[in-house]
Amino acid sequence: MRHPHTRTAPTNTTPTRTAPIARRGRLLGAVTAVLLCAAGVTPIALTAPAVAAPAEVPAEAPALADGLALTPPMGFNNWNSTHCRAEFDESMVKGIADLFVDRGLKAAGYRYVNLDDCWALPERDADGKLVPDPARFPNGIKAVADYVHSKGLKLGIYTSAGTRTCNSAGFPGALGHEYSDARQFADWGVDYLKYDNCNNQGVDARSRYTTMRDALKATGRPIVYSICEWGENKPWEWASDVGHLWRTTGDISDNWGSMLSILKKNLPLAPYAGPGHWNDPDMLEVGNGGMTDTEYRTHFSMWSVMAAPLLIGSDLRKASQATFDVLGNKEVIAVDQDPLGRQGTVISSEGGRWVVAKEMKDGSRAVALFNETAAAQRVTTTARAVGLPAAPAYTLRDLWQHRSLHTAGTIAATVPAHGTVLVRVSAGSGWAAHPPAVGTGLDGAPFVTAGTPATLTTSVTDLGRTPATRLTVSLSGPQGWTVRALSPTGTAALPAGRVLRIRWSVTAPAGTPIGSYDLTLKTSYRSPAGIHADSAVPLTASVVVPPPTGTSYLGDLPWLSAVNGYGPVERDTSNGESAAGDGHPITLGGAVYAKGLGVHADSAVEYYTGGTCTRVTADVGVDDEKGGKGTVAFEVWADGARVASTGVLTNAMPARSLTADVTGAQVVRLVVTDGGDGIDSDHADWADARLSC
């Protein structure tokens, strides 16, 4: 498979932190950031604003004493699939309830069937009561609640802590009507309220949300209370005894960038979550079509490891089997629903390789090995690093493959682009029944020149306490590629802790376009007792062309990868923020340049230099087109080393001339950071940028 080489995402920075598991009462560490390198070479560190770093957290935040939501709520909400379209109606809600039962989702733990905005008429009746829209709910809400209850499920509803809800049609909000609306919900048999933030008239959030808490309590009916003020007033600091869950971010949408940015905002809030009071990174998009199955598994894995509410956001009446397979994975759901109620914490994050671990009630740890980058990466941690006690070995349960192995301590996987391997690791004697885990991957940088054989080396390491016997390894490339082993591809027994390295000659057909390509490394072996185990991991190879001898304009050369704050990186024009080719002539301090690159912070453009280049030169600065706005900093990296940097430049400054010595580097990376103040208006030009080889 060929991956596009240009990635556009406003979320291309990765917090970097290696820390012990955060505990309640600890300050979270400062956060730096990393731009990933698609080819898997050394990442570069950038400074970036910390993501919502919490202050000191009380040792035990008080929770509502009603015994509700002791594990994160699970259910359905129509918003992500229907918004206010007409298909949101009684038959949809009943259909979802039916499917919860028929497709095993109720058995898997899903309970709440929740109505979002637009269920009501725009005006209250003469008595000030809310009126269900007769076109959508001809039998009223009570009839729907009765139906849902008859299936052993629960019903949720929505309104806003304002004068009107969020939809532009404007449905009545509950501000000033808290007690009567709560009473009406209770009378209908509502079990869950999502309370939004639109049209709040500037009234203090804490007081608005507390009034509704008291109104719900006054009904005497147990109602789960979901605070939805988008994290604007840091509800994690004050709402643990106001609501059972609180949104921590703005709305999710059905794409990778949105999911990723929400994930990064929610992760640092781990110390605030616990039974009865949860961080809510918004509802699931699984099945809505805007992400790949790999990305949806990441979404579901990471929400579970964060103990997030699991509210299905796709119309299950149209859902594929693949969607049901993700949403119905009971081993993953068990991570989310663990009664200890810990939100997983970041153990390490570097170069887009994340390790997030969640302490479980039985003492085990759920460990997510998450690869944010666009190329397969090896993600590694240890049992000790995730908080497990010393032990001779550990059982390693793969929660997507539903297989158990054992490890002497290393927890490692080669994870596909945008993928997550989710394992549950436990100490204890049971490990001996399982085959050893093996760590497989690629040694070194996988660069291939089309038409020329390249030598790649793979390794298989026995991570367990027993040998991997009758081990065989195969490597396959995309169609048309030839792959030939240059050394033996198996062994009768690989002892514990030992590595089998295999060299391969890999040839991409002449004319193969520059880009990233997946190879598959398959390993098959047996435990000493004869139990079969195998693995298939993706490896990403980059097809490159050697840089031309002499001095070339970087705007004329193909890049290895490009990430950019808005829109694509432009050749020979400034950045226009959305489509390719929408920039303007590069202009710095009144001078117009014919050649260069136009980027938008945060940005990183990588070139393959193959060890044969010496120098990068450019005039750099913020393009004049933003009229006085924008602050950025430019950096040049040679493999893992920063070899030039400008410090912060503003729009008012003239072009800065920059020279970087890149002698011997395999990869040169041009980086633009936001100058520490967010990426607004950060149109950055690498004017006249040249590479000498």
Is 251 designated active site? yes
C-beta of residue 78 within 8 angstroms of C-beta of residue 115: yes
Q: Which residue has the tokens 């009034």?
A: 211
Q: How far is the CB of 155 from ligand GLA (least distance, A)?
A: 16
Selecting among 133, 187, 241, 251, the annotated active-site residue is 251
Distance CA(527)–CA(529), nearest Å, equals 5
Applying CB under 6 A, does 682 fall inside the site for ligand GLA? no
Is 196 designated active site? yes
Helix 256-266 and helix 293-305: axis angle, to 10°? 10
Selecting among 116, 117, 196, 462, the annotated active-site residue is 196
Identity of the residue, 115 or 563, whose beta carbon is nearer to ligand GLA in the bound complex? 115
Exposed/middle/buried for 138, CB within 10 Å: 0-12, 13-18, 19+? exposed
Which of 89, 90, 116, 285 contacts ligand GLA by CB under 6 A? 116
Q: Which stretch binds ligand GLA (CB under 6 A): 164-172, 336-344, 390-398, 631-639?
A: 164-172
Q: How far is the CB of 168 from ligand GLA (least distance, A)?
A: 9
Q: Which of residues 165-184 bind ligand GLA (CB under 6 A)?
A: 165-167
Identity of the residue, 230 or 553, whose beta carbon is nearer to ligand GLA in the bound complex? 230
Applying CB under 6 A, does 79 fall inside the site for ligand GLA? yes
The pair of structure tokens assigned to 327 is 């949403």
Identity of the residue, 71 or 165, whose beta carbon is nearer to ligand GLA in the bound complex? 165
Nearest to 296 by CA among 265, 331, 264, 332: 332
C-beta of residue 437 within 8 angstroms of C-beta of residue 413: no
Q: How far is the CB of 186 from ligand GLA (least distance, A)?
A: 21
Q: Which residue has the tokens 């009223």?
A: 140
Tally of CB atoms within 10 A around 20? 12
Positive or negative, the CA dihedral 618, 596, 15, 266 is: positive
Identity of the residue, 116 or 315, whose beta carbon is nearer to ligand GLA in the bound complex? 116
Total residues contacting ligand GLA by CB under 6 A comes to 9
Q: How far is the CB of 167 from ligand GLA (least distance, A)?
A: 4
Identity of the residue, 120 or 691, whose beta carbon is nearer to ligand GLA in the bound complex? 120
Q: Which stretch binds ligand GLA (CB under 6 A): 52-60, 161-169, 202-210, 659-667?
A: 161-169
Residue type, 507: T
Identity of the residue, 282 or 682, whose beta carbon is nearer to ligand GLA in the bound complex? 282
Distance CA(380)–CA(351), nearest Å, equals 12
Identity of the residue, 118 or 368, whose beta carbon is nearer to ligand GLA in the bound complex? 118
Q: How far is the CB of 399 from ligand GLA (least distance, A)?
A: 28
The pair of structure tokens assigned to 497 is 């802790």
Question: Which stretches does DSSP call E strand in 99-217?
Answer: 112-114, 154-160, 192-196
C-beta of residue 312 within 8 angstroms of C-beta of residue 297: no
Helices (H), 55-204: 79-82, 90-102, 105-108, 140-150, 178-188
Residue type, 204: D
Q: How far is the CB of 185 from ligand GLA (least distance, A)?
A: 16
Q: How far is the CB of 198 from ligand GLA (least distance, A)?
A: 6
Applying CB under 6 A, does 228 fall inside the site for ligand GLA? yes
The site string for ligand GLA over 242-261 (x = CB under 6 A, - otherwise) reads ---------x----------
Helix 140-150 and helix 178-188: axis angle, to 10°? 50
Applying CB under 6 A, does 117 fall inside the site for ligand GLA? yes
Q: How far is the CB of 229 from ligand GLA (least distance, A)?
A: 9
Applying CB under 6 A, does 280 fall inside the site for ligand GLA? no
The pair of structure tokens assigned to 458 is 């793979």
Distance CA(455)–CA(498), nearest Å, equals 22
Identity of the residue, 166 or 335, whose beta carbon is nearer to ligand GLA in the bound complex? 166
Identity of the residue, 117 or 338, whose beta carbon is nearer to ligand GLA in the bound complex? 117
The site string for ligand GLA over 180-219 (x = CB under 6 A, - otherwise) reads ----------------x-----------------------
Distance CA(565)–CA(178), nearest Å, equals 42
Q: How far is the CB of 70 from ligand GLA (least distance, A)?
A: 24
| Alpha-carbon distances of 129 from 167, 179, 216, rounded to whole Å | 19, 11, 16
Contacts of 2 (CB under 8 A, 6+ apart): 478, 513, 515, 516, 517
What is the CA 623 to chain-centroid distance, rounded? 32
Question: What residues are annotated to the active site?
Answer: 196, 251
Residues that bind ligand GLA (CB under 6 A): 79, 116-117, 165-167, 196, 228, 251
